[in-house]
Amino acid sequence: MTSAADASGNWGTLGHIGKAVLRSRRCGSLIATRRSYRMVGFGAVRRSECRGRLARLLLIVGFAAVTDHAVAQTCPGDCNGDGTVQINELILGVNIALDAVAVSECPGLDNGQGTVTVDRLILAVNDALSGCGFSPTPGEETPTPTATPTSGESVSMWTVDNYDVQSSDCAGVIEDAVVRALEARGPDFTVRQSGSDVEIEDSDGNVLHGTADPDGTVHVGQRISDSIATCDYHVDVDASANLSDSPTTATYDGAVNFSGFCLAFSDCSMQITSRWRRVDAAAASN
């Protein structure tokens, strides 16, 4: 954003636009300065309509004067193709916006639909003030481009069911609680893999991060925490499944640790399995 002094200086250029602009056959001479405007002579359009048009013009020009750090992707406003935007070209652009001149007089301002819109005029004013294709003001943060998936990324959809305790030295109430916690994350999962990095997103949008072996076996860790009365516990779960096959069996090895006032419980471990089935188009041949 420019300072007040910088914005004031820009009005030297913008004043020329305001004073010379819009000798429209319909609106007569519209004469504008930085703080006021007046109209001299009128054509077929009544004063109130002309006033509204000029007010919109001044809003465009004033906005561009104090936001001249915007980046121009091309060079809107360069009507003759010389790589610069001159005052007469800005005047031409505004008259096109007011339907006083055909858009064919400056194709570079065309928004692709045969009209000149406010955003195109703002870009043209910025190009006139700072040159075509200029960069943001030094010190201002440059927007970070949105990351796009690489060609090596794969995405697959899975449904999970049949959770079952295979082995355990934990109390039944703990086994049931862990199974319920795992079931609560499903039944639908999205798996994204790029190289050896894996993301698994559950039905609620929660994402677990893991790794993949060359043979397609995925490893993911997670922690489940809960309590029973005065006894707190957490379960560190190491899950793995070979997702190159469908259906496939996932194995969850859980280590349970207790804290608090736990008379009836002690640290224990369990192994749980579930069935994973791929449900996207790639699974059609399985």
Higher pLDDT, 208 or 82: 208
pTM over cut 0.75: no
**What is the model's pLDDT at position 233?**
93
Buried b (16+ CB within 10 A) or exposed e, 158-194: bebeebebeebebeeebbebbbebbeebbeebbbebe
Question: DSSP for 187-229?
Answer: SEEEEEEETTEEEEE-TTS-EEEEEE-TTSEEEEEEEEEEEET
**What is the model's pLDDT at position 91?**
86
21 CB-side CA count, 13 A: 29
Higher pLDDT, 194 or 77: 194
Specify the DSSP class assigned to residue 282: G
Give me 216's structure tokens: 């397609």
Cβ distance 110 to 116 under 8 Å? Answer: yes
Specify the DSSP class assigned to residue 143: P
The percentage of residues in the chain with a pLDDT greater than 90, rounded to a whole number, is 35
CA pair distance 169, 272, nearest whole angstrom: 12
- For residues 227-235, average pLDDT: 89
Cβ distance 219 to 238 under 8 Å? Answer: yes
Cβ distance 170 to 256 under 8 Å? Answer: yes
Counting every residue written for the chain, the total comes to: 286
Instruction: Report pLDDT digits (tens) over 25-76.
Output: 344 444 333 333 344 444 444 445 554 555 555 555 455 444 444 433 468 8
- For residues 86-104, average pLDDT: 84
- For residues 238-252, average pLDDT: 94
Instruction: Report pLDDT digits (tens) over 128-180.
Output: 787 776 544 444 444 444 434 444 688 999 999 999 999 999 999 999 999 99
Q: Under 8 Å CB-to-CB from 107, ≥6 apart: which residues?
A: 79
Q: How high does pLDDT run on average in the chain?
A: 74
Q: What is the CB neighbour count within 10 angstroms for residue 68? A: 21
